[in-house]
Amino acid sequence: MERKVPTAVVGCGMISNIYIKNLKNLFSIIDLAAVANRNRTAAEQKAAEYGIERVMTIDEVAADPGIELVICLTPAFAHYDMIRRMLEAGKHVWTEKTMTVTVDQSRELVALADAKGLYLGSAPDTVLGAGTQTARRALDTGMIGEISSGVAVINRNQSLNAETFTFLRGNGGSLPYDVGIYYIATLISLLGPVERVHAFGAPAKRHEPEFLFRNADAEPWIIPGSNVLSASLKFASGALVSVHFDGNTVNAEQHNITLFGSRGILKVGDPDKFNSPVSLIYAGQPECVLPFTHGYDGRNTLAPTPFDFYGHRGVGVAEMAYAIRQGRPNRCSKEYGLHCLEILEAMERSAATGETVSLTSCFEGMKPLAPGYYSNFGNGRGDAEMSLVHG
């Protein structure tokens, strides 16, 4: 048995609920020792709610030699400072997406982690869930043959959503960065690295506060960057994928990832979920939903919370913790996080300049998890953690 990794969560907002619940209950490799937040009251509330022993300041987390791993759950625009600080303090770091809000910042952090011999892992870890891993198994076992192309589509009303999630009004809050990253992450975990990108884009509209959460004093806002992006991605494998992100629509999400192959077609489902069904289409046959080949399907039988629809978030942290103990690469690696961001930024740059952008980051693909381990018994643990133990 590997020694547990003493861990602290920094940033006690919305997403911290599911991380703390899962990391406390589902992964034996993690010792969730402390929580910290800029505003201490939020950390104290989480500690009381989830039974975490220590509430610390950010300075105390950085200075404590007992904390080996820090999970950064602050808003994306605050990631760079926090990750840099914790790496400089000698901590391994896991960060929520996007790693930072610019590729230059992420490159700097990747170089810093390399120089210090530390792990830096990055969300999305939904790619380690039952849906995407089953899709990967289907591809790896040749079920649809050689993949020539694909489509990835997501739409939302991002400006309206920014009434609730106020951090969406800042850098990193556009639909491509906030949500499109799940589609990019899933595509590269299935198909490997992207070589070239060409895109067209359009900005978000000016948003007048208008809905349930209206604050009479709130000023209108415009989410920065392109809120609509239509792009072509050329993968190193040769596959051509059309990406369509539109944050200027109504909130009637029509998510879709479909991969077209020489023997069949695979529908991958919603990459923001751990358990979205994966289905197979062969010529002249009815569409067929595949049984999941992996665990981490987002379900657990622990005491329910309003955050359970976030599924098995935290699985990437646990996988990284095993990698730390075993001295091997982790799957949701810094190179993966950087490549996701570089693709998004390349789409923005291509849309702004009209040029086709070549990518330079060196993501070499993601190793699939071992199949045949499931989490649908034992409170949502089952024996699925064994799939994380295998390097």
Ligand X SMILES: NC(=O)c1ccc[n+]([C@@H]2O[C@H](COP(=O)([O-])OP(=O)(O)OC[C@H]3O[C@@H](n4cnc5c(N)ncnc54)[C@H](O)[C@@H]3O)[C@@H](O)[C@H]2O)c1
85 binds ligand X (CB under 6 A): no
200's enclosing H/E stretch is strand 194-203
Exactly one of 39, 250, 252, 304 binds ligand X (CB under 6 A); which one?
39
Instruction: For residues 336 and 334, give the distance between their C-alpha atoms in angstroms, rounded to a whole number.
Output: 5
Q: Which is nearer to ligand X, 177 or 260 (by Cβ)?
A: 177
115-174 positions binding ligand X, by CB under 6 A: 165, 167
The number of beta carbons lying within 10 Å of the beta carbon of residue 217 is 6
Residue type (1 letter), 87: L
Let me know: does 89 contact 115? Beta carbons within 8 Å.
no
Instruction: For residues 305 and 17, give the distance between their C-alpha atoms in angstroms, rounded to a whole number.
Output: 9
DSSP symbols for 328-347: ---SS-HHHHHHHHHHHHHH
Let me know: does 76 contact 97? Beta carbons within 8 Å.
yes
CA angle, 90 as apex, 129 and 71 as ends, to 5°? 30
- Which of 390, 315, 380 is CA-nearest to residue 123? 315
Instruction: For residues 25 and 32, give the distance between their C-alpha atoms in angstroms, rounded to a whole number.
Output: 10
**From residue 63 to residue 82, what is the string marking binding to ligand X with x (rule CB under 6 A)?**
----------xxxx-x---x
In angstroms, what is the minimal distance from the CB of 32 to ligand X? 16
- Of the CA atoms within 13 Å of residue 42, those in its CB half-sphere come to 16
357-376 positions binding ligand X, by CB under 6 A: none
| Mutual angle of helices 79-88 and 103-116, in 10-degree steps | 10
Exactly one of 32, 33, 35, 58 binds ligand X (CB under 6 A); which one?
58
Exactly one of 9, 10, 23, 266 binds ligand X (CB under 6 A); which one?
10
**From residue 262 to residue 301, what is the string marking binding to ligand X with x (rule CB under 6 A)?**
----------------------------------------
Exactly one of 14, 48, 63, 151 binds ligand X (CB under 6 A); which one?
14
35 binds ligand X (CB under 6 A): no
Instruction: For residues 317 and 306, give the distance between their C-alpha atoms in angstroms, rounded to a whole number.
Output: 22
Q: Which is nearer to ligand X, 96 or 319 (by Cβ)?
A: 96
SS3 of 65, please?
Answer: coil
Which residue of this chain has its Cβ atom nearest to ligand X in the complex? 13
Instruction: For residues 50 and 34, give the distance between their C-alpha atoms in angstroms, rounded to a whole number.
Output: 11
38 binds ligand X (CB under 6 A): yes
Let me know: does 138 contact 191? Beta carbons within 8 Å.
no
In angstroms, what is the minimal distance from the CB of 61 to ligand X? 10
Let me know: does 347 contact 229? Beta carbons within 8 Å.
yes
Let me know: does 251 contact 161? Beta carbons within 8 Å.
yes
Q: Which is nearer to ligand X, 87 or 357 (by Cβ)?
A: 87
In angstroms, what is the minimal distance from the CB of 36 to ligand X? 7
391 binds ligand X (CB under 6 A): no
- Which of 268, 274, 309, 313 is CA-nearest to residue 295? 274
SS3 of 74, please?
Answer: coil
37 binds ligand X (CB under 6 A): yes
Exactly one of 6, 42, 205, 249 binds ligand X (CB under 6 A); which one?
42
- Total number of residues binding ligand X (CB under 6 A)? 22
Q: Which is nearer to ligand X, 172 or 193 (by Cβ)?
A: 172
Q: Which is nearer to ligand X, 165 or 200 (by Cβ)?
A: 165
**From residue 87 to residue 116, what is the string marking binding to ligand X with x (rule CB under 6 A)?**
---------xx-------------------
Exactly one of 5, 7, 8, 11 binds ligand X (CB under 6 A); which one?
11
Q: Are strands 279-281 and 265-267 parallel, antiparallel or unpaired?
A: antiparallel
Instruction: For residues 97 and 184, give the distance between their C-alpha atoms in angstroms, rounded to a whole number.
Output: 12
In angstroms, what is the minimal distance from the CB of 307 to ligand X? 9
In angstroms, what is the minimal distance from the CB of 211 to ligand X? 17
Select from 8-16, 21-29, 99-107, 294-302 the region that touches ligand X (CB under 6 A).
Answer: 8-16
Residues making contact with ligand X (CB under 6 A): 10-16, 37-39, 42, 58, 73-76, 78, 82, 96-97, 165, 167
